Amino acid sequence: MLQQGSLENGLRKEELMPQVKILEEVCKGCGLCCDDVCPVDILILAPDRINGSGYHPAEVTDNDKCTGCGYCFKICPEPAIEIFK
């Protein structure tokens, strides 16, 4: 297991793992991605904040678990989810 900040082929651990980015201002808080879609169950609707349209946007709880399958992106109607790898 790589330590945070350590190097492998010149890449840090964060750069090897898939990164999920939620476009919070585009998200309408429908919650389709949070229900039985993510195989590792790391998406929730942020309980503590709202976006400019008044919706609770989706939030990633633990990006380290993400496998980059893209199911959340596929079911997002906006699409407000981007995945980088």
Partner 1 sequence: MKQIFGRPAGLTDVLQRYCPGCGHGIVHRIIGELLVKLGIRERAVGIAPVGCSVFADEYFNCDMIQPPHGRGPAVSTGIKRSRPDCIVFSYQGDGDLAAIGTAEIIHAASRNENITVIFINNAIFGMTGGQMAPTTLPGMKSTTSVQGRNIKKQGYPIKVCELLAGLDGPYYLVRTSVHDPKNIIKTEKALKNAFGNQIAKNGFSLVEILSMCPTNWGMTPVQSKRWIGDTMMKYFPLGEYRNRAKEEK
From candidates 13, 19, 44, 65, binder to partner 1 by CB under 8 A: 19
Which amino acid would we find at residue 25? E
From candidates 13, 18, 44, 65, binder to partner 1 by CB under 8 A: 18
Q: Is residue 53 classed as helix, strand or coil in its secondary structure?
A: coil
**13 is a site residue for partner 1 (CB under 8 A):** no
> How many alpha carbons fall within 13 Å on the CB side of residue 48?
1
| Closer residue to partner 1, CB minimum distance, 65 or 83 | 83
Min. distance of Cβ 20 from partner 1 in angstroms? Answer: 9
Let me know if 62 is exposed, middle or buried by CB neighbors in 10 A (0-12, 13-18, 19+). Answer: exposed
From candidates 8, 41, 50, 84, binder to partner 1 by CB under 8 A: 84
